Structure 1
Amino acid sequence: MASTENKPANKENTSNWNSIFNPRTGELLGRTASSWALILLFYLVFYCFLAGMFALTMWVLLLSLDDYVPRYRDRVPFPGLVIRPESLDITFNKSDPLKYAQYVQHLESFLQRYNDTEQEKNEDCNRGEYFLQDNTEDMAKKACRFKRSFLSLCSGLSDTNFGYSEGKPCVLLKMNRKDSPISMQYFPSEGRIDKMYFPYYGKKAHENYTQPLVAVKLLLTREDYNKELSVECRVEGSDLRNNDDRDKFLGRVTFRIKVVE
């Protein structure tokens, strides 16, 4: 009885094994060794061909690009606006250096490229005029100087704490701003950026270019302390957008500041 019951199971196991490997014909999963070799060779050649086509396409595309001139220059995006320290919520205690140390360190690090020794490499340009260099044979463009000392009281040179220790902090902007109920002092004066820093020819051509800045010293009083104040900065100029409700950072930036006594 036991021998009779084991026969169907043995036949089933043998059948399953033969479906994977057939020792009589030498087939694996229904294919001989030569058949598997031809299939693997086909896919090897096929994927090598695809990889070659991709590499050729990328090579042709790179040949059509210029490191110095953008391929499409029909539309220049509107500029955004950012602040330094890189925070939209600045809160600190002016009596505790540890509370504002991170903001001071951030400003100091950011302004290293604006040190006078670094800016001596650049040109002393004529103010009020665009620094056009389209007709020069050398593709590498020269940049106008923007010395750290231009920021005066917000340069970190005369006041290494950037006004944070006295409760009148400095904030660096890359464009000018509108009027605000908060009393402010601008560096350079009137918060203007001179034409000589434009146009910008890109990272490759303008290797030594440093973006012009506007420093704003917030002249807060004791009445302003312990309050969360909101400040909005805008880029102003012809054909510049700063009122698009769909993008709150297009041509403007809003940040909050709170000084604790």
Structure 2
Amino acid sequence: MENTENSTNKTSYAFPPEKPEPIGKWAKIRRAIWNPESKQFLGRTGKSWAGILFFYVCFYSALAALFAICMQVLLLTVNDEQPRWTLDNSLIGTSPGLGFRPITKDVEHGGSLIWYDGKNESQIKIWKDRLDEFLEMYLDKNKLPGKGQNQVSCNFTRPPIGKQVCEVPVNKWGECSSSNGYSYHKNAPCIFIKLNRIFGWVPEYYNDPESLPEDMPDSLKEAINRTDPKERNMVWVSCQGENPADRENSGTFSYHPMQGFPSFYYPYTFQEDYLSPLVAVRLERPALNVLINIECRAWAKNINYVRNANQREGSVHFEVMID
């Protein structure tokens, strides 16, 4: 028996098993896709594919259901008519900021420099086009959600009723209208001032000439005195050069259609077709070839005014330079 076992072992070592025949590259690829011997498709059997498909269907169905539940709970807290947090309870607060148009993408001057050559028509057109773009919905009511059907012409004796809103007829503002090129070609550019919207905010007006703030410019005090008492409920706007040299170079300002934002535009409560009121400030005779720093300020008892290097509230700064 021992001799027989030994001879058998010797035979097995002498004749190793045959190596499988090598297969080509494309055959390997075909086998990786479908292996007919193990019945595997892309390395998995049908049972394995069914198991992993079942797992991911259950997993993503659970995620979708969880997302739908969270969204439904969130939507229950949202009011389509007004924001959840307003005025003192909101991040914006109760003091609106002031902005201006047109603006530029000039990074060096923070977008606040209006600079052009008064004899260069292409440069003038650039600024006019920027204002046309900003005033697009003011100029064409068809751009509004309700096609302007909710807008009415207002004044101090005819305020809006119910859900009506007051139109802002910028196309009737004379020298500061699009048809007149906003006076940029006359070296007397119009800059549009606006207050940021705050839901439900109602201004507290400076409407008593006897109780105006001491730091209010004399020119604005005179304008308030000249205004009909029935039309003094306005957020007044004043503009002037920031420094003595700027005041000399800026010349006089005119305001269109009036020197402030009238009361009949407030409060803002998500009315359809509502457009923020605007004041077009025109530099009548600014000095040429010199940089002029200008500050415009909004005046109301509940508008904070802060002006320092790190923060600005209740006013806006821009520069004008006409070559």
In the alignment, which residue of structure 2 is the partner of 1:75?
90
Decide which of 283, 288, 301 is 1:218's aligned counterpart: 283
In the alignment, which residue of structure 2 is the partner of 1:146?
168
Q: Is the 8 A contact 2:255 2:279 kept in 1?
A: yes
SS at 2:137 equivalent: helix
Which whole-Å deviations, capped at 9, do the CAs of 1:30-87 have from their partners, x for residues lacking one? x987466445523431221121111122133224422222222233723222222123
Which TM-score applies when normalising by structure 1? 0.70
Tell me which amino acid in the other structure corresponds to 1:56. Answer: I
Distance between the aligned counterparts of 1:51 and 1:121, measured in 2? 40
Distance between the aligned counterparts of 1:115 and 1:32, measured in 2? 67
1:62 aligns with 2:62: no
Worse-matched range after superposition: 53-62 or 241-250? 241-250
SS at 1:171 equivalent: strand
Distance between the aligned counterparts of 1:147 and 1:89, measured in 2? 27
Residue 130 of structure 1 deviates from its aligned partner by 7.6
Identity %: 29
Distance between the aligned counterparts of 1:48 and 1:129, measured in 2? 57
Residue 194 of structure 1 deviates from its aligned partner by 0.4
In the alignment, which residue of structure 1 is the partner of 2:272?
207
Distance between the aligned counterparts of 2:311 and 2:181, measured in 1? 30
In the alignment, which residue of structure 2 is the partner of 1:125?
154
Output aligned runs, 1:1-261, within 5 Å: 34=47, 37-73=50-86, 74-75=89-90, 77=92, 78-87=95-104, 88-115=112-139, 122-127=151-156, 133=162, 141-149=163-171, 151-157=173-179, 160-175=180-195, 176-180=237-241, 181=247, 182=250, 183-189=252-258, 191-202=259-270, 206-221=271-286, 224-243=287-306, 245=308, 248=311, 250-260=313-323
Residues 98 and 185 (structure 1 numbering): CA distance in 2 closer, same or farther, change over 3 Å? same
For structure 1, list consecutive stretches of 5 or more residues without a partner in the other structure.
11-23, 134-140
Residue 201 of structure 1 deviates from its aligned partner by 1.2
Distance between the aligned counterparts of 2:100 and 2:69, measured in 1? 43
Q: Is the 8 A contact 2:151 2:165 kept in 1?
A: yes
Aligned residues: 232
Higher strand share: 2
Tell me which amino acid in the other structure corresponds to 1:99. Answer: Q
Tell me which amino acid in the other structure corresponds to 1:207. Answer: E
SS at 2:175 equivalent: helix
Residue 253 of structure 1 deviates from its aligned partner by 2.3
State which structure, 1 or 2, has the greater radius of gyration over its C-alpha atoms.
2
Distance between the aligned counterparts of 1:249 and 1:36, measured in 2? 63
Distance between the aligned counterparts of 2:139 and 2:80, measured in 1? 28
Question: Please, what is the CA RMSD of the aligned residues?
Answer: 3.9
SS at 1:253 equivalent: strand
For structure 2, list consecutive stretches of 5 or more residues without a partner in the other structure.
1-12, 20-36, 105-111, 143-147, 196-236, 242-246
Distance between the aligned counterparts of 1:196 and 1:179, measured in 2? 26
Which TM-score applies when normalising by structure 2? 0.58
Q: Is the 8 A contact 1:128 1:196 kept in 2?
A: no
